[in-house]
Amino acid sequence: MKNGRGRHWRIKTMWRNLSKYSPLFVVLILSCVAFLLRNIYSLEKLDCKASLYQLQQSITAPFRTRSPGQLERNWSNCSSHGLVLSPEEAVEQEHLLKSIAWPEPHLPVSSLHHSSSPSSSSFSILPLENDREWRVGDHLEVLVHMRDFRDRPKQHGGDFLLARLHSPELGAGVVGHVVDHENGLYSVLFWLPWAGKAHVEINLVHPSEAVQVLKRLREDNPDRVYFKSQFRFGPFSETTICNLCLSTQLPSCNYTNHHTGEPWFCYKPKLLSCNSRVSHSKAGYLKHLITSREELFFQRLVNLKVPIPSSGLDSITVLKETEEKPNGAANLDIFKPAGFYYKEVWRPTNDVLLRQFDDTAAVTRCLEGKVLRIYGDSTVRQWFEYLTTALPDLKEFNLNSPKNVGPFLSVDSVHNILIEYRCHGPPIRFSSVATNQLRYVADELEGVEGGSNTVVVLSIWSHFSTFPVEVYIRRLRSIRAAVLRLLDRAPGTLVVLRTANPQDLDTEVSLYNSDWFSLQLDAILRGMFYGLDVVLVDAWEMTLAHHLPHALHPPPPIIKTMIDFLLSHICPEDTSAFP
Ligand X SMILES: *[C@@H]1O[C@H](CO)[C@@H](O)[C@H](O)[C@H]1NC(C)=O
Question: Contact residues for ligand X (CB under 6 A)?
Answer: 72-74, 76-77, 81-82, 247-248, 254, 256, 258
- Cβ proximity to ligand X: between 70 and 74 the closer is 74
Nearest to 253 by CA among 226, 235, 231: 231
Smallest distance, Å, CB 84 to ligand X? 10
- Cβ proximity to ligand X: between 76 and 416 the closer is 76
- Cβ proximity to ligand X: between 72 and 333 the closer is 72
- Cβ proximity to ligand X: between 73 and 355 the closer is 73
Smallest distance, Å, CB 125 to ligand X? 48
Distances (CA, A) of 329 to 142, 349, 569: 21, 8, 21
Q: How many CB atoms lie within 10 A of CB 159?
A: 27
- Cβ proximity to ligand X: between 83 and 390 the closer is 83
**Spatial distance between the Cα atoms of 303 and 200, rounded to a whole number of angstroms:** 19
Smallest distance, Å, CB 248 to ligand X? 4
**Spatial distance between the Cα atoms of 306 and 386, rounded to a whole number of angstroms:** 32
**417-423 vs 371-376, strand pairing mode:** parallel
Smallest distance, Å, CB 439 to ligand X? 17
- Phi-psi domain of 381 (left: phi exceeds 0; alpha: psi -120 through 50; beta: other): alpha
- Cβ proximity to ligand X: between 144 and 246 the closer is 246
φ, ψ for residue 238, nearest 5 deg: -140, 155
Those residues whose C-beta lies under 8 Å from the C-beta of residue 15, and which sit 6 or more positions away, are: none
Those residues whose C-beta lies under 8 Å from the C-beta of residue 519, and which sit 6 or more positions away, are: 160, 500, 540
> Looking at the DSSP assignment, which residues form a beta bridge with residue 124?
143
- Cβ proximity to ligand X: between 258 and 288 the closer is 258
Say if CB 225 and CB 282 are below 8 A apart.
yes
Smallest distance, Å, CB 81 to ligand X? 5
- Helices (H) and strands (E) counted in the chain, each on its own, are 15, 25
Distances (CA, A) of 492 to 269, 384, 476, 535: 47, 22, 21, 13
Sign for the CA dihedral angle at 558, 563, 569, 574 comes to negative
Smallest distance, Å, CB 46 to ligand X? 32
Number of alpha carbons in the 13 Å side-chain half-sphere of residue 203: 19
**Spatial distance between the Cα atoms of 529 and 516, rounded to a whole number of angstroms:** 20
Smallest distance, Å, CB 209 to ligand X? 23
**Spatial distance between the Cα atoms of 173 and 124, rounded to a whole number of angstroms:** 19
- Cβ proximity to ligand X: between 164 and 224 the closer is 224
Nearest to 429 by CA among 438, 417, 419, 418: 438
Smallest distance, Å, CB 253 to ligand X? 9
Smallest distance, Å, CB 226 to ligand X? 15
- Cβ proximity to ligand X: between 55 and 71 the closer is 71
**Spatial distance between the Cα atoms of 529 and 389, rounded to a whole number of angstroms:** 31
Say if CB 210 and CB 298 are below 8 A apart.
yes
- Cβ proximity to ligand X: between 72 and 169 the closer is 72
- Cβ proximity to ligand X: between 456 and 471 the closer is 471
Distances (CA, A) of 564 to 74, 121, 502, 573, 574: 46, 39, 20, 12, 15
Smallest distance, Å, CB 259 to ligand X? 10
Q: What Rg do the C-alpha atoms of the chain give, in angstroms? A: 30
3-state class percentages of the chain: helix first, strand second, coil last, to nearest 5: 35, 25, 40
Smallest distance, Å, CB 260 to ligand X? 11
Smallest distance, Å, CB 525 to ligand X? 26
